[in-house]
Structure 1
Amino acid sequence: MMAVLIDTVAWVRLEGGRILCARPRGKDEFYIPGGKREGAETDLQTLVREVAEELTVALRPETVAHVGTYHAETRPGGATVRMACYTAEYTGTLAASSEIEDVDWFGYADRDRVPPVDQLLFDDLHRDGHLR
């Protein structure tokens, strides 16, 4: 059986020691904002499109910086998620779009409310003093 890889990008937005997370409509779990690429999109193109679709803001491409890339199984024996994470400044007002039910700011104590691949990012951000 061939291993399934889910290739995603994520926007790491930190403020006051907390990270922005979003919960898609119809889902129970929160995620770091972002998503899967369409066709031959680059990470940057995917990131800008997904964040605009989910949070109604425009990322400033000249400010995008790679934070890290993480890999984790969705569940034991499940698909592997690859999540390339980027910081970026934005213009506009953060707001949930029609596909997002809720947005919230999470601290490290909220780690168990996000998927395994997001938890790896939480661990690194906490270790480095960026996530309280």
Structure 2
Amino acid sequence: MQSDRLVDTVAWVLIENGRILCARPQGKDVFFVPGGKREGAETDLQTLLREIDEELTVALDPDTVEHVGTYEADLPGATPGLVRMACYTADYAGTVEPSSEIAEIAWFGYADRALVPPVDQLLFDDLAGAGLLPAADASAER
């Protein structure tokens, strides 16, 4: 799809016990892999550290950040454009808790793939293919 609109995002991939952490922002009815949009000339690392601190009140260890993959998909709904999501793992300090920006967090298995936007679904597919999100999983624990 050719489009003038590109939403450039960075996401933190946290997997525990075969489930990936997802967050639902205030005022939205859909869950996302935590992260957000780049501000100005921020690098992926700067965006990742800022967004995760803002959303989940934990500090990522910049020395442990590793690129998982970068995915592109059509924006959800009728909005024309693409979303690009650069995904990273990283160790963290603190307790993962939703900030005032986040209404709810949940641990999703591969069976919950339909509950996230198309770009997140591509990540879910790769993680399942790598055996990190088992395909025969039950529904989300909230």
* TM bracket, shorter-chain basis: over 0.9
Runs of 4+ in structure 1 over 2 Å off: none
Partner of 2:140: none
Deviation at 1:79, TM superposition (A): 1.5
* TM, length-normalised to structure 2: 0.90
Q: For 1:97, which of 91, 96, 99 is the aligned residue?
A: 99
* TM, length-normalised to structure 1: 0.97
Confirm or deny that 1:84 pairs with 2:86: yes
The amino acid that maps onto 1:46 is: T
| Structure 1 unaligned spans of 5+ | none
The amino acid that maps onto 2:53 is: A
CA RMSD of aligned residues (A): 1.3
Partner of 1:5: 6
> What fraction of aligned residue pairs are identical, expressed as a percent?
67
Partner of 2:75: 74
Partner of 2:138: none
* Alignment partners' CA distance in 2, 1:94 and 1:77: 32
Partner of 1:27: 28
Deviation at 1:113, TM superposition (A): 0.4
Partner of 1:128: 130
* Alignment partners' CA distance in 1, 2:118 and 2:3: 21
Kindly tell me the number of residue pairs found equivalent between the two proteins: 132
